[in-house]
Amino acid sequence: MVVLLAGDFRQALPVIQRGTPTDESKACLKSSSLCVKVEKFSLKTIMRVHLHNDVDSRNYAETLLKIGHGCLDADAEGSILLSEEFCKLVENDVEFIAKIYQHLQQNLNSDHWLCARAILASRDEIVNKINIDILKEVQGEVKEYLSMDAIMNTEQSTSYPTEFLNSLELSGVPSLKLQLKLNVPAMLMRNIDTPELYNETKLRIIQLGQNIIGANILTDKQLLNSSMVFFDCIGFVNNEAPTTGY
């Protein structure tokens, strides 16, 4: 039996819940006893460059390799210094948002325009900050939805007061407050009704009710059909803590 594993393992370490970088390194393929039996093949030719003489793609790929090898210059804090030729650099979050969502208010009603844009971040607190900054740029009233957190085992309710549960920021579980405005983009964070409503489905909010949220699906397959969906309270059970939320 032959198994083909593709990718840069330096950029795709396994995720170990509550683990340290050492735990992740120990769980990767190179720490396995099977690693000595693995035959390694390296990328020799970038076909996009070879077939189309795409110089920009070649320079971009070479820079990525230098990042992987640790060959790029870094500042005193260890941050990599990227050039303007590699990416568009910005000074702050406000400028960054303006680069991605240019003329945001004028284009909010365009599903195609919203579908072509997204901002990814590595930490939940960064996501929350960017969301708040984008909401400030959109006209209209903010609608706030609060989660309802509870202990699954009622006998432990005195050990976990509601204030403590509301302060938790657990992976895969939304924060206490969800703030939305009409027409703003949103992203689904769990599978609800595949293949239409799945994790990372992009949405545009079109209705904000007391207990119901209406949205248009922005994925490519649904744009022509203008599919509209509604969401009510969704239950979350977290395995890392004895809690459930809505």
The pLDDT, as a whole number, for residue 9 is 62
What value does the mean pLDDT of the chain take? 77
Percentage of the chain beyond pLDDT 90 is 0
Give the single-character DSSP code of 68: H
67 or 217: which leads in pLDDT: 217
Which residue, among 196, 200, 192, has the nearest Cα to 223 in the 3D structure?
196
Collapsing DSSP states into helix, strand and coil, what is residue 72? Answer: coil
Distance between alpha carbon 35 and the CA centroid of its chain, in Å? Answer: 31
218: left (phi over 0), alpha (psi -120 to 50) or beta: alpha
**Paired tokens of 110:** 């365009």
**Separation between Cα atoms, residue 121 and residue 93, nearest integer Å:** 12
Collapsing DSSP states into helix, strand and coil, what is residue 17? Answer: coil
CA angle 142, 148, 154 (to 5 degrees): 170
Q: Answer yes or no: is pLDDT of 228 > 60.
A: yes
Q: Give, in order, the Cα–Cα distances in Å from 161 to each of 55, 141, 156.
A: 59, 32, 9
Query: How far does the chain reach from its first CA to its final CA, in angstroms?
Result: 46
Min mean pLDDT across 104-108, 173-177, 182-186 is at 173-177
Beta pairing, strands 228-231 & 185-187: unpaired
The pLDDT, as a whole number, for residue 10 is 61
**Separation between Cα atoms, residue 28 and residue 34, nearest integer Å:** 11
Min mean pLDDT across 13-27, 141-155, 232-246 is at 232-246
235 or 110: which leads in pLDDT: 110
**Separation between Cα atoms, residue 188 and residue 171, nearest integer Å:** 14
Give the amino acid at 113: W
Q: Give, in order, the Cα–Cα distances in Å from 229 to each of 84, 118, 218, 222.
A: 41, 20, 11, 11
Phi, psi of 235 (to 5 degrees): -85, 140
Q: Decide if 174 contacts 189 (C-beta within 8 A).
A: yes
**Separation between Cα atoms, residue 162 and residue 211, nearest integer Å:** 21
Encode pLDDT of 62-84 as tens digits: 887 777 777 887 888 878 877 77
Encode pLDDT of 115-160 as tens digits: 888 888 877 788 888 888 888 888 888 888 877 666 666 666 666 7
